[in-house]
Amino acid sequence: MDREKLTPEILLNGYAQGIFPMAEADGTIYWYDPDPRTILPLDGFHVSRSLNRRLRHGDFDVTFDRDFRQVMVECAAPGPGREETWISEDLIDLYTALHEHGFAHSVEVWTDGRLVGGVYGVAIRRLFAGESMFSRVTDGSKIALAHLVDHLNQQQYTLFDVQFTTDHLKTLGAIEIPRSEYQRRLKQALHA
């Protein structure tokens, strides 16, 4: 899809239909609708003992929507085992515009004034579609995710879409469901 044709409104419409965009290495953007779909049940988020200790010690600051664009930039940065990313500069611009419209949000983890972890995604009614996360210190992304899950539960969200299964997400309680079940849950979340 051409970048010029992709707008924040089209992004929202895609999420409302259960699809999401990703960019290829050449910048071409494609829509995805995986089957099975991976979700993180909001009542099933797994906090390990070590993460629980880190959360209790509080040697970090956590903010919401303080530096959305920088969270995306950090998520797009190459890392060990990931030289390329699906987050193009065009997508950073589009999601930042969506953030400015109040539909994309970030959670940031700070240590000594440095951004060391974060997560971002799209919120529509009772759906939160997690897009990506990053960590520059041990458990940085997990701390952000724990705070996000707590916030989503407080706000009575019903669906936390994480799109694809990874070993990391499985350790946190992510599960796969068939596309048809995802569509059913999505409809409920959007009509809540």
What does the pLDDT look like over 42-89, one tens digit per residue?
Answer: 999 988 888 888 888 878 999 999 999 999 999 999 766 656 678 888
Confidence band, pLDDT 50/70/90 cuts, at residue 3: very low
On average, the pLDDT of the chain sits at 92
β-bridge mates for residue 82, sequence order:
79
Closest to 157 (Cα-Cα) out of 45, 71, 31: 45
pLDDT(14) > 90: yes
What's the predicted TM-score (pTM) here? 0.93
Total number of domains in the chain? 1
Q: Residue 142: give its domain's CATH number.
A: 3.40.630.70
* Range of the structural domain that residue 119 is part of: 3-190
Position 80 scores a pLDDT of 63
- Lowest pLDDT segment from 44-53, 92-101, 147-156, 168-177: 44-53
Residues 6+ apart with CB under 8 A from 135: 116, 117, 141, 142
| 120-140 residue pLDDT tens | 999 999 999 999 999 999 899
**In this prediction, what percent of the chain has a pLDDT beyond 70?**
95
Confidence band, pLDDT 50/70/90 cuts, at residue 25: confident
Tell whether the torsion through CA atoms of 175, 181, 186 and 189 is positive or negative: negative
Position 2 scores a pLDDT of 47
